[in-house]
Structure 1
C-alpha cells in the first residue's frame, strides 16, 4: 500500500514537470514567432514601382484570354479592339494598384514553384513603362501570380525570369486584374425619364399583356387588356409610372451584340413600350430669328448705299453749294436716323436670337425595352431602344411591369359618399330588402 502511494506521488510530480516544460516551450515558440513577425513587418521589399504616367500598357489574362490595354494619348484603349468602350476609371485604378508593389515576406532559393501555384500561374501581368532616358527603350516587367494565401489574404508572385524568389504581396495589387472583360467596359446610363408626369401610355406585351393610357384632359388613367377598357386605379398607376424615373442597369452583358438569341431577345419574354414627352430646343424659332437678322443686314446695306450716293452728288455739283449742303445735311440726318433704326433692329434681332436659344418645346418620345432570359443572379437581360448593347436588370424592377395583368390595375372603387350627406341605405340580401335610416341630432 505504501509503495503504491509513493508511485502515485512520483507520477503526479513527473506530470507536473512535463506540463510546466510544455507551457514554457509553447510560450517561447509563440514569443519567437511574434518576434519574427515583427521583424518581417519592419522590413519591406519593393517588387515593382513606377509612375502611373509612365505606364504605357497593361497585358494580363481576361476570361482566359491574353488582353492588352494601352495608352493612346491620355486614354486607355483595347489594343486589338479599338471600338471597345474602355472604362477609364477602372483601368486607371488597375494602373495605380500595380504602380507600387511591395512585399513584407520574401522566400528565397525556392526549389518547387508548385507549392505556391507558380508552376502554372493563374495570371500573368506584363507592365510596359517608358524609360527614364529620353531615347531609351521601353521597359517590360512581368509578374506571375500564383495561389492566394487564405490566412493572410495575400498572393504569391514571382518576377520576370527569377524562378528562385517568391514574394508575398497584398491582394489589392492583384484583384484589379481578376475581372471579366465586361467589367472593364464603360456602361451607358439607362435612359430614365426625368419627368414621369409626361408619360401618356405604357404597353406591356408578353405572357401578361395590357395597355395603360392617360386622358390628357382629365389626367385619369384607363387599362385595356384582352377585354374592354376599364378605369384604372390612380394610386397603382402612379406608383408604376414613377418607377421609370429611377430604373437602372445592373451590369453590362454584351457591348456589341450580334446574336440576340443568346440572351432570349430574339423572342423576348416581354416588350415594354412607354410614350412620353421631353423638353427640347425649339429649332423653328431659331430659323425665324436668322431670317429677321438677314433682313436687318439688308436694310443696313441700303442705308449705306444711299449715304454714298449723297456724297457723290455733293462733290459733282459745285455751283449750288448751299442747296447741296442743305441736301447733304438732310441726307446725313436721314442716314443717321436710318443707321440708328438699323442698329435698333440689329439689337432687337440679337435679343430675339438670345431669347430663341432659351425657348423650348415638348417633343414626343418613346422608350422600348426588350426583356430576355433570366441570369444566374436574379436578373434578366434587357436591350433598350436601338442600342446593340445588352445589360442586365433586376427582376424585382421588371416584375413590377411584366408580372402584372389588367385586373391588377382596375379601379375597385364603387362609390364615394360622404356620411354627412347619407340619408338612408337600402340593401338587398338573399332576396330580402333591408333599409337603414339615418337620423341626426345636434348637441351643444
Structure 2
C-alpha cells in the first residue's frame, strides 16, 4: 500500500514539473517576442513632367550644355547641331529629371543650403517643357553615411535626398553623347565622283568622268588623275581598287575633345592653315551617265589630318566644319598615303576622254585621216558619233577606230624628258573642248629594235614596245583603208 502511494506521488510530481516547463516556456516567448516594425515609405514625388520635357540644360563640372528635341523628335545639342547623339542617353536625363522622386525629406526649409552643399551645387538641371515652362533642381553634396545626395528644387519647400546613382544620369561631358560613327558623310564607292589625298609632300586628286563603254580601253576607264599633270590621266585600275577599299573603311574611332583651342590643335598638327594633310571626297548618288536633279543625293566630306598618336595606331583628325579633335585608324589612311600620283598612272598614255574631244586626226606615212565627234544625249546616256568629210561613220567603226587610237601603251616612262629627234613615224592629235591642253599630240619616233620613243606634245617621255607599236599601226591602217559609213536612215 505504501509502494502504491509513493508511485502516485511520483506521477503527480512529474505532471507538475511538465506543467511548470510549459508555463516557463510560454512566459519566455512572451518576454522575447518583438512585434515587427511597419516599413514606412518616405519617398516623395516632387514633380512628374517627363512626358512634357522638350529640352534639358545640364550645368556640371564639364560645362553648360543644352539638349533639345528638334522638329523630327530627335535630341540635338545646341552649338553642334550636326552631331548625332545617343538618343537613349539624353532621353534618360529627361525621364529621371522629369519624374523627380526623392528618397525622403530631410529639412522642411531651404534656409541652410550650405549645410547640404547646395549653395554651390555640383549639378544644376533645367528642364524646359513644351509650353516654355522651366523646372529647375540642384544636386549638392553626398551624405557619407547613407550615400544619398541632397537636392532641392525651385518653388518646392525643403531639402530632399536622392539615391546614390541618381547624379550619374547627368554626369557626362557632351562628347560622351556623340555617336562618332555617324560623324562622317559617306556613300558607296559606285557613287564617288572625286577622291583626293594630301599629306606633307605627297598628293593626288582623282575625278570620275563619264566614259561610254565603246571608248573604254579596258572596261574600267572611268577614273582620271587631274592634279600634277597638264591634263587628265587615266588611273591604273588595280591601284584604284585598293584606294576605294581603304575609303570604305574610313571612320571616326574616337572623340578627344569637342571644342579644341588653337594650342591644342597645334600640338596634334591640326591648326587651321597648318594641317599635315587632308582627305576629300565628293559623291552623287546616281549612275555616271544619269542626269543630276534636285532630288539627287549629293554630298562631300573633307577630313583634315594631323599627327599620328604616340603608338602609331591612329591619326588625329578634324572633319571640316568641326572644332574638335578626333582619331581615325592609321591602317587605312596609310593605305591611301602609300599611293603617289606617279604610281597611280595608267600606262595607256593617250587615253583621252571622248567627252572632251571635238575632233582628232591621224598621220602615218601617206595617210592623213581626220574626224569630228558629235555627242547626243539619250535616255540611256550619251552617244558619240564620228564624221569624216562631213559623212557619218558607222557607229561601231568609229568607236573601234577611236579605241585603237587611245590604246597607246607605254611600257616604260623615261626619268628625264628629251626633245624628239629623227623622223616622226606616227602622230595622233586630239583637238579638245578644254581650257587645259586643248591640243594633245602623241608622236612616235624610232629608238631601238625593241622600243619606239613616244612624245606627248613635243616632249619624249615614254618608250613603247615595238610589238605594241606595230599592232597599233596595223589597226589604224586597216581601219583608215576600210572606212565604213553609216547607212542612210
* TM class, shorter-length: 0.3 to 0.5
Of structures 1 and 2, the one with the larger relative CO (CA 8 A, separation 6+) is 1
Which TM-score applies when normalising by structure 1? 0.44
Bigger strand share? 2
Which TM-score applies when normalising by structure 2? 0.41
